[in-house]
Each structure stands twice: as structure tokens, then as C-alpha cells.
Structure 1
Amino acid sequence: MRIGVHSGNLFAGVLGVAKLQLDIWGPDVEIANHLESTGEPGYVHVSSRTLASLNLDDYTVIPGTIKAQEDPVLQKHPMSTYLITGAAQRDSYQQSRDPHPASMLDIQSRPKQHSRSSKQLSTTEELQMEFRNMPVGGFDCSYCLPSKPGQNKKKQTKNDLGMFCAAFKDSRVEWDFLRRPDYMLKYSILMAWFIGNCLVFIQLVTNRRNCPPCILVDILAFFYLTALLCISWYKKYCHWMYRNDETRLYGPFSCLVFRLFEGIQQSMSRRLLLYLSILGTYFLVVFLIVINCEADLFQLSFIEAKLYRYEVSRDVCFHPWAFTNMMALILGTSYMFSRISFSLKTIISLVEVIVYFIFIFLQFTYVFHHSVTTTPYLIAEVAHATRIIVTFVTFYLKERQVEFNTKTNFKLNIDLQNKQHAADITNQSIIILLNNILPTHVVEVYLSNVAKHQLYYENYSMVSVMFASLINFQMDLPGLRILNNIVTEFDKLLSVYKEYFVVEKIKIVGCTYMAACGLDFNLVENSSRGLGEISERLSRPPTLSGSIRSDASHDEVVLVMATFALDLMRTLSVCNMAYSEIPTERGFSHGNICIGISSGEIMAGVVGASQPHYDIWGHPVNLASRMQSTGLAGHIQVTEESAKILSGYGISSTFRDLTYVKGVGKIPTYFVDIDTGFQFIFIPGPPSERRGTTLDTFFLERKSTEEEEYFQ
């Protein structure tokens, strides 16, 4: 391996809008490149500036090569070069061989800007941590103690809910929770129907007085609650009755009942109205027996019973313990409905308790005082109040626990949905970025195979490769800005070449634009995909000219590549004219381009798993690079094979000479003939003698529409 290392200043960034990649520019980058090219295999060729930053005791240092002393780029920046190699196996080398190497850098001392935690947790550990952080109901004594770092997330989750009413502190989340459908509504109505019947039964049994209004209210309450029960359970009943008839169509009445209940179930305001109407029905049943109670007559009757020693008649007033039990049932109903604000249910329950206390201690004190007590040491009204208080506290704590768990699960589901949404957006962004880094047909394969450290490659029998180098560009900030604008215009041309044979941008190296035509997976002869996928590919209908056979030459790619190269020259000419009209940019209006094209069999694939890059290799790639490096500005230099293919389409080429190509020797090269208007010069003769191609329609349409529209 031959390595060159130099230290200095540089610019880093991304050029263009397609196939993005981070690159670096500057004179020091060029120096490092020439240090590599003038170095020796087995050594690291470094500059004196880099050597000054090293510990010389760890290396064997010898003078640099003669090539470096004669290199024109290195001579522009007078410096001494050295070849270094390791003196012995150092500790860092031994540590790199250790399966669990210790970090040589103090990671904690460096600012964490874009990196995750240094300790990568496994999926099981992350799930265990999430489980430990899940909030639970009740009071946690650890909140009174200083918190540990791991408890912050748990406290944050609990702090989202209020202490007494378990309401979300974020009103938007609270309203979102309340507006969700109540799928337990029919069960709540069933319990409300049962409790309502209990109230009616208690009222009828304990009230021995003749009270026609009470009987009427009891009948209306029964039918109202029964109607609600039928509406809520009618759909369930129909599904149970006709569970084996999946094709059954329900009538208008059934559909009306279905929509009525679903409307109540889905609407928060309708559920609230239903909840208040049920409680109002209960209070109407209870207060009728209270209104019919003659407290003065009961007091007189009780005194007479004590004086004349006969049994007290309870017909003149309600039974105190019956009234208390009825209030306890109403308290249970107040907390029974879900998706009703817990604060509202608590307020209603407190009002019920307060009204009950008014009856006990102010309105009907004598009636409750002379009732039976539950404990010999408590007076009767205190025993009644104790039962109601215990009932209220019990239902409050129980319902708060249910509310806390329900809202916690709701919050966790909302957070999970937000994370899933964020993950979907991230995945879409990743796919978009990958499609802007890798060819489209490689993205799916890369996501599934590279993660398993599998090699992905493609063999193509005919691909045309182009290297286009921009000349007369200074690698400073203004020059990079102009270079980015030009490369962006080059990238926009790629959208024109999306039909028939696609032109793929491979990469940008310095000021050299590399592209290829013919990298279509339908043309792959061999790849790292399975045989099933290749069979599926071969069974697809042909989208190119002719059928998809392995013996097809597909030399149209050379014509497309040459046309794309001509478009690059035309685009650069337009950019030069535009910059010449801007006084501050006239110094950048003299850019020129040198293009080299070669064609043949190549291999393509993804290099590496970190910062992946789709690249191509093969003899045509090397030849295209040499065609560019040995070419002339303003010309398209091609190999003899490519010139013959272009001549088959009537495009004229001029023999240049036998050009020396490193690693190959002298080979014949040609310049594609271009006129001053950046149009191909065709071989004299009738057009009928030219080779036909399915791309003719593409070129005609493009010449009349896309090309004119783009360059305007």
C-alpha cells in the first residue's frame, strides 16, 4: 500500500444536488494526493509539517523519493518529504489486536455534538430500562429523597399528571384524552341500569306511604334507563344473534340505532349529557322520598311513642339507612363512567356529599339522630356520615388509580405513536438520502444486505464511463462557490436522462465529474443477488431497445454518454456567458472542460458499510480517466472502440494520435468532432445509412422541448 499524509488547511463540503458526498479541497489536499502518487509501497510518504507533529521515536524515518523532488506541484510549495515506517510493534498496535480495545482518547472530555452515548445498549437492556421507567400509581417515598440520574425520566412521566385529579398538565393532551371514544360505555350503562333498579326497589320497599308521583317517576326512570340499555347493547345483540350470517344486511331501524349509539360513544359532549341525565334521574328518585317526608309529624310521632310506649311508625318519613345506602350507590355511579373528566366527577361527588351532610346535620337532624347506629360509641348521624365518607374516599382512590393508569397508558401510546411517526420520517429521510447517494436499484439491496456485511456487486458487459474535468478553477472559497453552481447545473441535466438508458453520477473528485451510462439492473449479467431475483429480473418486460438478452451489446450507452458530455460543455458555455455579464464574477467566466470517455465491461458495487459509496471498477474506468487526463480542453477524447460505435450512428471522430496511457502503453485515441455551436458533426452521407436506434425519438423530443427549456 502506498500512502501520502499531509497536514494543513482545507475546505470541506458537498457539491451539487445529486449523489451527495462529503469532499475536501485545497492546496494541502493536492499536496497529500501528490505525496501518495510519488511515494513508495510499504511506506507512508509525509511532509515535513506532518513529521514535526509526530513522535520520531516511534518511527523509522528515511528521506523522501526523487519523484517528490521533481514533482511540479510539490515544488510550488517547497518542503522536505520523508518516508516513514514503524520501528517496532507499539502498544497501540497490540491494543488494536485486542478484541476489546481500550480507547486511547478521553471521549468524556470532548464535547458530544452529534454522537450518541458511548455505551451502546442492546435491545434487551433498552427494554428493561423502559420497563423500569414506566410510572405506577401510588405514592413513592423516593421522591422525598435526592433523585438519581436514572430517575429523571420516571419523575418527568409522573409530573405530567396532577396530584389530586390525575389530569394532564398539558390541556391539549387532556382534551385529546377526553375526546377519544369510550368503548366501555355500554358496560357503564349496564351498571347504571342495575343501580337505578336498585334505587327504585329500595324506594318502593321502604316508602310505605301512598305516593303516586313517586310511582310515576319510578316508572319513567325504569323505562329511560332500559331504553339506554337497549340502545347501547342492541348492536352487540345483533352481532351475537347473526354471528354466522356475515352477509346479513340490517334494516333502517337497526342502522339508526347503531348510528345513535356510535354518536354518543364518539362525542364527548353527548357522553357528558348522558352522564348528567342518569345522575339527574337518580336524584329525582331520591329527592321525591325526601320531599314527601314530614319531619315535624315524625318528631311528634316519635315523642308520643316514647311517652305512651308504643312502636314508632316510619310511614310518615323515609328510612334513614335506606337514604344513606341510596346515596352510596349514587356516589358509585358518579365515578363509574370513563372518558368523563375526573375533576368533574370529583366535584359532583363532593356536591353530593355536601348535600347529604346538609340533610343530616341541618334539615333532617332529628330523623337521622334517632335512627339505628352501626357502632355503640357513635351517634347515629355520625355513623351515617362515616359510611358516606368512607364510600366517597374509597371510590375516589379507586377511580384515581384507574384514571392514573389509563392516562399513563394513553400518554405512553401517544409517545409511542410520536416516536413511530418520527421513526417513519427518519426512515423516509434515510431512504431519500440513500437515493441521493446510491442508485435507486441499489438502495433496497444495500439496506437489506450491507447490514449483514454482505458484498454487493454487479457485472455489466457494456457501460460507457465519462470523466469531465473542469479547468482553470482556483480551490478557494469563491472558486468553490462557482464550482458548486456549475456542478449543480450538471446534476440537473441528469433528470433529462431518465428514459431509455439512465446516466448515473458516480462521484466528484476535486474538479472532475465522473458519470456512467448503462448501470441498469436489467442489464446485469451477474450480481450478488439470489437466483430468484435474477430470474424475476429477466422475466420483466423489456424497457430498453430490443429484448433483455445477455448477448445484447447495448452500445447505445456510448451515444447517450457522448450526448451527455456535449450537454456538459454546452452548460458550461452558458454559465461562462452568465458570469461574464456579472462584474464581480467576470474572473470566473473562463472555465473550460476536458472530457474523456471509454466503454466496455465493468463491475459496480457498494464500498464499505460506513459512509457507503457506489463505485465502478474495470479497464474502461481507467481508460476513461486517462482519456481525460491526456485530453485537451474543449474536446471529448474517446477510445477507438467508442469512436467506432459513434461512427455507426453517423457521428464523426478525428484520429488524434497514438497516445501514451499509463499501464497500457500507446493506444489510438480520437476526438469527437464538435462544431462551434456544440453540436455533433456527422459523417457525410445520407441519413438512411446511419445506424438506427430507439433513442431517436428521445433525442428529437429532447431537442425540441427539454433542451430549449433548460438552457433558457
Structure 2
Amino acid sequence: MIIGLADELKASMERLRDEATIRSSKEHHGFLFEWAELKSDLQSKCIQLGLEETYQVYLKTIYRNYIKSFMRIHIFIAMVHTVAVMIGDQNPDSTSIDGYIYILGAILTCLCSSIYLKKNMVMQHWCVEHIVAWSTGLVMSFTDFIIGIMAFMLNNDILRSCYCAYTISCLYLFMPLTNLLSLMPLTTVVSMLYSTYFTFTAFNKSIEDERINVDLRYLIPDIIFIVGLNVVGVCFRIRRDCATRRVLLTRHLNVKENYLLKFAKDQENSLLISIIPAQIAEKIGQEIRTRIERYKLPQMKRPQYASEFARKLFIESHYNVSIIFADLVNYTHLTTTLDIKTLVETLHDLFQRFDQACHEFNVIRIKFLGDCYYGVTGIPQAHPFHAHCCIEFGRSIIEQISEIRNLRNLDIDMRIGVHSGNIFSGIIGAAKWQYDIWSKDVDIASHLEQTGVPGRVHISKNSLKYIEAYYEYEAGTEKATRDPFLMREHIKTYLIIGPSEFMTQSKEWKTYKNRLKTKPTQKNKTNFNPLLQYTNGKDAEDQMLLDYNSIKSQANLQIAKDINKLPIYKLGIKEQLFTRMPRLDAYEMEDFTANRNISTFCLWFSDWNWESSYNSEIDEFFKISILMSFLILICVMIMEGVNKIIHNFASLLILYGFTLIYASIVLILVWLRPVMTRCSPPRQKLIILLNRISINIERMAVVRIGIFLSLVLCIMSTALVHSMFCDPVALENDDDLIYEFLQGGHRTLCFNSWAVTECVVLCLAMIFTFSHIPYCIQMIAAISITIYYLLIIFIEFDLVYESSLVTNKTVRAEASHVWNILTVLVIYQLMSRHILYISKIESISKWRLEQKKENARVTEESIRILLQNILPTHVVKIYLSNRLISEPYYEQHEYVAVMFATIIYARSGSIELKLLNEIICDFDEVLGYYKSPIKVEKIKVANWSYMAACGFDISVGDTSYSTKLMPFQSMFLLNRRPNTKSLASAQVPRMTGSKRQEVNTHLEENTSSETDTDENSSSSEWQKRQVVMTMANFALDLLASMNSFNATNQLERGNEEPPIMLRIGKF
């Protein structure tokens, strides 16, 4: 039963992919999302696919891992800071106070965060994540504030906040509020608290008048710094949420594609093994897929595979098998007395019963030949009961025909012939493949049937030696003793009476029969198409939707089941080296292999081609990264622009102007393409040129990296602009300035050192938030900036940084600057690694998805080729989409032409299948030219006879079809054309240029003139003439092809061999 349909399957798969979450673009090497709808579009896709709940579960799993990492990092930072405070203080009492505060604050922070690790509590109470985030953020903030407040209250000292950047960054990076809008109130409150604290630290005491006021030149950089931290945090959070959703959606699409691919392969398998046994079907399917892959190669590379494109013979030899022929007695009487519908229904009912009996007795049905039904047993696996199975099958169908005879009151019976021997089995030709068997033993079985008795099983002596003890028998028919063929082969025949007593008591036979009963049916072995269970188009559409929803639900269930297997973090060195490889299924192996293909330190792909492909992909978040860097540059300009002393105003303006103009140009170029896609196509040459530049920036990884490094350089140049014009030697020799500093009246020497540090912190955070930049480039840039800035702090401008506010009285100011940089550097690079890791896992999944789509496409193409080579296209569509799987199908045509072409060949006694295959392939190649206007259909090949018909595709009265003929090239044929020189209908495809157009025009003119002048001739009569002419042309082309074959192969066969002739009959 054929249960695959290329068009329906393709439509179903395209429907699934249209409903899928990610739009694929070959030009963009992957997934493309509109920038304005980046996050909302992903979220809507998750909701649409029913994955939002699964996504929230996955996100909570990730956040639990985040909380664990955060607790470790926070404890480590608190301990290191406490040790630093203890080492630097000479007063043990004050040390213990600061140390206790940091340790206590860290413990409280971890206790608040650890609540989230209780999975059941988080799942049951939605408010837990809010409680954890708010309590953790506030505890961290007040721990930082208490140190400064206590120092002011006890010693009237003003201390700077140590963990402003760290706290705000942790809220965005680690806190488990899955919705950014839920996080914004918390970050706003914490930002306002730190702004208030910075206002307190901006108090400045004047030496002259002992007044205390707020110095805006200190406050403004701190406020802008907090704004910049929130900008980077929001961008980082959006980027991570998008990357996480992409991972889930890609995984979901992969799972769905797995189901689709399995469905497609099941369809292909069902289609093949319903026509061809599995052992041959597997070879054919693989050959089709291989040739499809070869045809995708460039034209210049195909010659090296020319030998593979040659005609292949899919033939197998089998020994010790039994062949059965069953012929319907009085079939001719049925065709003349029954109407077509009743005849088809009767034959369908009968042959369906035969097929069931085939399965019951392990017989492979070969084909129908009109009223003849024949099969074989003992293939593909040989077994000692092959003759028994054939005889039992024959006895079973005799009972079935008796039941049909009584049920329908018909005078019909069966003649059965069984013979045991050796056969060749397989397919020949290039179109309308049909599994068949050949050998002298097959001919013997056919003659046994022809000379048999209705209602009896007629066997040969070869079969008798296998079953002699199992059956009672008698001498064969008189007709068999007079059959010339059987006489020549010395075949002695027998008629089966019935099973013997030995058979009824045979344990071996009973065991074998019981094993056959437990054999799975064809329906159980393959997933049949549910569409076939409905009889009308509306129900089929409903079932397609049901089928889609079923696959969608299965994919969702699989994702929910494998939620803990989704990527969270990269395994460390210990796991890489000492973890044994577990036993994994196919899906788990893909994840395990993907993880092993990413290096631990730099997160590079082990395959550099993968790394190159990843870096060349377009990431829509790159535009947002450019916008973020532009905003950070503006923040840095403001922070440095309010410096108390401007050493070189002209140089400052030039630097500001250059960096701002450059960043603006980059911003415009990067955002030009997405803006232009929403507008009408540009016509101005300048706009077109800029749009091309914008596209190249997105495509070229080197350009993106260059822009990234240049923007980092612009930000750092702006941040260090005052240090460029400050002379550290002159500063150290200014006694008045030094005296004022020692008296506490000056907190800035030459430039605001904390403003510069804050600018560097923003730059480092921006570096690791920047999208689609290799991690090693980010680390090199960040480490280079950090080292350079450390040199500035400790060597070049040590006096300037020594004069700045401290975060603890026992810790030097220079160490406070370094600590602020290192804490932010650690957490941002850690979280950047996480995003990069899941992004690379998503890319691997995406590439595998493309491969699976390609595999599915190849499977669809192979199904299409199979369908074209088994049934007429219109019959397949009707057969598969608008009828029950057990309902017969028939067509009644007003006028068709049928042709039998018998190859007359003086055989030497051996079966020359290679020769037969070459001839049939030549005929099939000629057939390929008769696709239009009237298509010639190959019906079957029976032994050395070739049967074809035309007129199936014509509706009576329909003349609205083209007269242009196009050749058809099968993938199983060489790219050569038959050397025929017959009528114009067959010559049209082989002509080129003006000659082809001339013939087409001539045909159209003849048609037009005939229909215009002959008013008494109906269109149906015209069609009948065209059917006859088409079949006549085809027959002439077969004769010409046969002559060409003789001329080409006569020398190889030997001049003494008579030429192969062709006898053709048409009606």
C-alpha cells in the first residue's frame, strides 16, 4: 500500500516551517529578526508555539545556575576585601568592624539568594523571585552604604561607595526576575539610593571659609555613571534573553524537524516497501539520494562521477525459493459481463484478501498480470518451509475465491502452480519501476499454473521433495505431460490433495506458523499517513491540521522532557578531563558532541570552518550594540567634560568632535539597512551606496571587529583625554597644591580620577556586552585596557589617584580603583562567556537544522522521483488524498490507445537481464519525450513485453493544453538522446532554436485551421486522432530505438547473432 505523497508531504512540512519560530534566510546564513521587534517577536513566537511556559522553566533553571555562581563570586569578593581591609589597617578594632560588616552582608546576601535554589518553592509561588531579587539587591546596597555612614558618624570621614558598579551590574546579570520590566523598578530604586549616596560624597569642604557644599563636578560624573551602567545592563539583559529564547526555539525546531524527517523517511520507506521488497528498496532509495547529491555539484565536477550515473542493475540472486502463480479462471467472462465499477471492486476485494494471505504465509507478492497473481517465498531470508508456505498460500486463496464465488454469485475459480528453484529478483528500466522475478524456474511455475486444474494446487517434483511427508498428493494433469516446455525441461508434476497427518503433528511447522503470527504487520512497521483515512478534501485538511498539531505537541513534550539537557554553561577543565562519556541517545549525543566541539578557555570551535561560519553570520543585536556604545561614548564625554580643569580646550573639542562624528557615521551606516527595508527602495546613488556599505558591515566579521575596536579606542581616548594633557612631573613639584591636598581641601589633582575609573568600568562592561565579537578579542581588549590603566594608576599618575576618595580608611585609594575595575571585569566576562556559549550551541543546532532540512528535502525529492516512477501523478494524488486506504480506485476513459511491444530475441537459455535492462532503459528514455501534449504512460514490463498507453490525461472536450513537448530526463538515465528520426511530435524536444519553434508553430497552425474549417468535427474526435497519432509516433520511435540499439551493440554481441526484433501491437 503506497502511503506517501510528495506534494502533500511537502505542503505539510512547509506549513510546519511557516508556523515555525524562526525565519530562515540563505542570504543571511541563518535566522533574521527585525530589529524593532527583536525581543517581542521572539516572545510572541514562544507564546504562539506554546513554549512560553517551557521557556520560563528553562530560564529558571539558568537562573538557579546564575545564583549558584553569584553566591560563589560574592563570597570570594567579600573574603578578599575583608582580608585587604585587615592587612591594611593598623587598628584591629576598626578592622573587625569593616570585616564583620562585609562578611555579614555577604552571608545575608547569600541567604536571600539561596531561597531561589528551592525549586518547588519557586515553581509554586510567583513572588519568590521578586522577594529574592529585592532582598538581595537591597542587602548588597545597604552593606555598601553602612561602611560610609559609620565612617562619617564615627570619624567624620567621607568614603566613596565601593560596590556601586558591582551591585547594579549583579542586578542585571544574576537576579532571577525573568521579565525586564519587573527588574526595572528594583534597578531604579537601587540607582536612586546610590545617587543619594553619591550626593553625600560630593560634599566638599573649603579650607578658607570652612563651608560645606555639593560639588556638581563630582556628582554629575557619578550620576551619569549610574545611567551608563543601566544602559549597559539593559542591553546585556535583552541580548541574553534573546539568545536564550533563540536556543529554545532552535531546539524546538530541531526536535520538530526530527519528527518531520522521521515522518518523511517513514513515508519513503512505506512507499518503497509497498512496491519493492526492503532489501532492494534500500538500495534504490540510497541510489536516488546519492544521485540527488551528485546533481547538486557544479557542472564541472560531475564528469568525475560519470561512471556512477551509468545505468545500474538492481538485481539479486536467490536460491532454494518457491514460486507460485495463481490465475483467475473465467476472467474474460467477468470483463464482458460486469460493469467496470463492479469488476474493479471484485478484483480489489479478491486481491486484498490475497495480500492478507501473503502476509500470513510469508509470501512476497510480485505483481498482478491482468488476472494472474504471482509471488515468491524464501526471500530475502531463506527458510526450509518455503514450499509449504506457497502451497498453504495457494490453498488459502482457493478458499478465498470460493467465498467470493458464493458471496457474489460469480462463476470464478483459481488455478495454482508452484515450483521450487532459483531466481533473480529486482527492477529493470528507468521509469515505472516494478519488482519482478526472472529465471527458468519462474517460467516453469507459470506453465504449471497454465496446465493446472481449477481449485487445485499444481506442483513440480522439485517442490515435492521439500513437502513430500507433509502433504497427500496425486499425479499431475494430463495437460502438463503434453506441455512442450515442461517436457523439454523434464518436469514431473503433482496435484496436492491436502495436509498429511505428519503435518498436523509437526512441531517444526507449528513453531514456524506461530512465529509468522507474531510478525508485525506492515501497518505496525511504518507510520501511515492519517490523511488517507478521509474521503474528502475538507476532512483531509482537518487531518493535516491535526497532524501538524500532533507533531507540534510531540515537539513541545520532548522539549519539556529535555529541559535539563538544554545548554546552561560550558563544562570546566575537570569535567572535560575526568568525566566519563555516558551512554546517550541520538539527541543527547548531539548535545554532548556540540559541547565537546567548543573549547574551554576561548570558546572556539574545534573546527575552524565552524568558527569562520559563526563569525560570518549576521546578528541583529550588533546594531543595538553600536547604539549602546554610542550612548556610552556620550556618557563618557559628559563625565570628562565637567572636569574642573580643562588643560587644552581646543584639543578637547577636536577629540570630542572627531569621536562623535565617527561614532555617528558608524551608527548611521549600521542602522541604515534596517531603516531602508521599511521604506521604499532608494533611488539616489549615494543612498544605494551607503545601503551596500551597511550590508557589508553586517556580513564581514573583520569589519565588525574593526568597528568594535575603533569604538573602544574612541571611548578610552575620551576617558583619558585629561591625562594626556596633564604633566605628572609638574604636578608633583607644585608645593601649594600638595599642601592643599594634605590639608583635605583638594580631592582632585589635575583630573577627576574616579570619573576616569568609572569611564573605564563602563568601557569594560560595554566590551563584554558587545554582540558577535570573538571572546578572545574581547578579552585581549579588556586585559589591555586594564593593564594600561593600572600603569596609569600606579606609575604615571600615582599622586593623582592617591589623592582621590577611598572606599575604606584602611585601603589605599589606588587599590579601591583597581578593585572597582576587577569586580566588574570578572562578572561581565563570566556572563559574556555564558551568552557566547549558548549562542554557539544555538548556531550548531541551527546548522544541524539546515542539514536536517536538506535531508528532508532530499527525502522529498526521492519520494517525488519514486512516485513519478510508480503511478501517474494524477492517480497518486487521488489515490492518497481523497480515498480510504482500503478503497479501490479506478478511472473510466472514453478513448485510450494501448500498445504491447514484445522483444523477439533468440535466447540461449540463460536470462540476460543486463541486455533486457538496456533495452527497457532505451524505451523509457524515448518515453521521457512523450510528456505533453498527450502523455504516454508506461504500464508494465511482463517478461520481454513492454506495455504502454496514452490518453489518460485528456478530459473529453478539453483542448486547452499546450502542444509544446519537453524532454524528461530520469536520474537513472545517461544524458543521451535516442537516435530516432520519426515523426515531428517526437522530434520537437530534440530540435533547437528556430527549427523547434518552426515545428511548434506548424503544429499549432494545423490545429487551429482544422478546428476552424471543419465545423462538423467535434473536439473529442480531434482528441481521439491525436491519441492515436501520439501512440503511433511512440511505437515508431521504439522501433527506431531498437534499430539504434542493434547498430550500437551488434559488434559486441557478435555478427553471427541475429538482430533483436520488436513486435508491436496497438489498439
Q: TM-score, normalised by structure 1?
A: 0.66
Higher relative contact order (CA closer than 8 Å, sequence separation 6+): 2
% identity of equivalent residues: 28
1:558-573 counterparts in 2 under 5 A? Answer: 561=1031, 564-565=1034-1035, 568-569=1038-1039, 571-572=1041-1042
Could you tell me whether the CA contact under 8 Å between 2:749 and 2:800 is conserved in 1?
no
Q: 1:72 to 1:179 in 2, by over 3 A?
A: same
Who is 1:218 aligned against? 656
Structure 1 residue 147, shift from structure 2 partner: 1.0
1:8 aligns with 2:404: no
Q: 1:253 to 1:516 in 2, by over 3 A?
A: closer
Could you tell me whether the CA contact under 8 Å between 1:19 and 1:505 is conserved in 2?
yes
Distance of 2:923 and 2:1045 partners within structure 1: 11
Structure 1 residue 428, shift from structure 2 partner: 2.8
Who is 1:401 aligned against? 834
Q: 1:50 to 1:217 in 2, by over 3 A?
A: same
Per-residue displacement from partner, 1:210-254 (whole Å, max 9, x unpaired)?
332335423443344345445555677799xxx9xx779776666
Question: What secondary structure is seen at the aligned counterpart in 1 of 2:599?
Answer: coil
Distance of 1:257 and 1:229 partners within structure 2: 12
Instruction: Decide which of 148, 160, 180 is 2:617's aligned counterpart.
Output: 180
Who is 1:629 aligned against? none
Who is 1:119 aligned against? none
Q: 1:572 to 1:330 in 2, by over 3 A?
A: closer
Who is 2:486 aligned against? 74
Q: 1:461 to 1:231 in 2, by over 3 A?
A: closer
Question: What secondary structure is seen at the aligned counterpart in 1 of 2:939?
Answer: strand
Who is 1:164 aligned against? 601
1:404-483 counterparts in 2 under 5 A? Answer: 404-446=837-879, 448-449=881-882, 455-474=888-907, 479-483=912-916
Who is 1:149 aligned against? 584
1:56-455 counterparts in 2 under 5 A? Answer: 60-63=471-474, 65-66=476-477, 67-75=479-487, 76-81=489-494, 83=496, 123=551, 125=554, 128-129=557-558, 132=562, 135-139=566-570, 144-150=579-585, 151-212=588-649, 213-229=651-667, 232=670, 258-296=691-729, 310-311=743-744, 313-365=746-798, 367-368=800-801, 371-375=804-808, 378-446=811-879, 448-449=881-882, 455=888
Q: 1:542 to 1:553 in 2, by over 3 A?
A: same
For residue 444 of structure 2, what is the amino acid of its counterpart?
I
Per-residue displacement from partner, 1:471-502 (whole Å, max 9, x unpaired)?
34438777323323333333344356556654
Structure 1 residue 398, shift from structure 2 partner: 2.0
For residue 471 of structure 1, what is the amino acid of its counterpart?
I
Per-residue displacement from partner, 1:331-363 (whole Å, max 9, x unpaired)?
122223323323212221121122223334444
Question: What secondary structure is seen at the aligned counterpart in 1 of 2:915?
Answer: helix
User: Relative to total residues, which structure has the larger helix share, 1 or 2?
Assistant: 2
Structure 1 residue 174, shift from structure 2 partner: 2.4
Who is 2:448 aligned against? 35
Could you tell me whether the CA contact under 8 Å between 1:38 and 1:65 is conserved in 2?
no
Structure 1 residue 188, shift from structure 2 partner: 1.9
Structure 1 residue 138, shift from structure 2 partner: 0.7
Q: TM-score, normalised by structure 2?
A: 0.46
Structure 1 residue 580, shift from structure 2 partner: 4.6
1:543-692 counterparts in 2 under 5 A? Answer: 554=1024, 557=1027, 561=1031, 564-565=1034-1035, 568-569=1038-1039, 571-572=1041-1042, 575-576=1045-1046, 579-582=1049-1052, 584-586=1053-1055, 588-597=1057-1066, 599=1067
Structure 1 residue 422, shift from structure 2 partner: 3.3
Could you tell me whether the CA contact under 8 Å between 1:576 and 1:589 is conserved in 2?
no
Distance of 2:584 and 2:784 partners within structure 1: 43
Could you tell me whether the CA contact under 8 Å between 1:4 and 1:35 is conserved in 2?
yes
Distance of 2:735 and 2:581 partners within structure 1: 63
Q: 1:461 to 1:164 in 2, by over 3 A?
A: same
Could you tell me whether the CA contact under 8 Å between 1:482 and 1:588 is conserved in 2?
no
For residue 589 of structure 1, what is the amino acid of its counterpart?
P
Distance of 1:476 and 1:350 partners within structure 2: 85
Could you tell me whether the CA contact under 8 Å between 2:806 and 2:816 is conserved in 1?
yes
Could you tell me whether the CA contact under 8 Å between 1:516 and 1:561 is conserved in 2?
yes
Per-residue displacement from partner, 1:309-350 (whole Å, max 9, x unpaired)?
622534433333323211111112222332332321222112
Q: 1:95 to 1:230 in 2, by over 3 A?
A: same
Q: 1:439 to 1:170 in 2, by over 3 A?
A: same
Structure 1 residue 155, shift from structure 2 partner: 0.7
Per-residue displacement from partner, 1:81-129 (whole Å, max 9, x unpaired)?
4537677796877887889779999xxxxxxxxxxxxxxxx84556755
Structure 1 residue 595, shift from structure 2 partner: 4.1
Per-residue displacement from partner, 1:198-219 (whole Å, max 9, x unpaired)?
2122223345353323354234
Structure 1 residue 365, shift from structure 2 partner: 4.4
Who is 2:434 aligned against? 21
Question: What secondary structure is seen at the aligned counterpart in 2 of 1:405?
Answer: helix
Q: 1:275 to 1:155 in 2, by over 3 A?
A: same
Could you tell me whether the CA contact under 8 Å between 1:26 and 1:476 is conserved in 2?
no
Distance of 2:806 and 2:449 partners within structure 1: 102
Q: 1:548 to 1:6 in 2, by over 3 A?
A: farther
Q: 1:486 to 1:541 in 2, by over 3 A?
A: closer
For residue 291 of structure 1, what is the amino acid of its counterpart?
M
**Unpaired stretches in structure 2, ≥5 consecutive residues:** 1-396, 398-413, 526-549, 964-1006, 1012-1016
Per-residue displacement from partner, 1:127-160 (whole Å, max 9, x unpaired)?
7557739741314698724412213221122233
1:509 aligns with 2:942: yes
Could you tell me whether the CA contact under 8 Å between 1:218 and 1:285 is conserved in 2?
yes
Structure 1 residue 293, shift from structure 2 partner: 4.0
Per-residue displacement from partner, 1:14-64 (whole Å, max 9, x unpaired)?
33333333332111221232333344555554444445556966xx44336
Distance of 2:777 and 2:491 partners within structure 1: 84
Question: What secondary structure is seen at the aligned counterpart in 1 of 2:600?
Answer: coil
Question: What secondary structure is seen at the aligned counterpart in 1 of 2:837?
Answer: helix
Q: 1:259 to 1:463 in 2, by over 3 A?
A: closer
For residue 474 of structure 1, what is the amino acid of its counterpart?
R
Per-residue displacement from partner, 1:288-327 (whole Å, max 9, x unpaired)?
3223444455556799968996225344333333232111
Distance of 1:467 and 1:18 partners within structure 2: 16
> What count of residue pairs does the alignment treat as equivalent?
561
Distance of 1:298 and 1:454 partners within structure 2: 100
1:478-557 counterparts in 2 under 5 A? Answer: 479-495=912-928, 497=930, 501-523=934-956, 538=958, 540=960, 554=1024, 557=1027
Distance of 2:857 and 2:741 partners within structure 1: 86
Q: Which moved more, 1:323-332 or 1:436-445?
A: 436-445
Distance of 1:437 and 1:575 partners within structure 2: 26
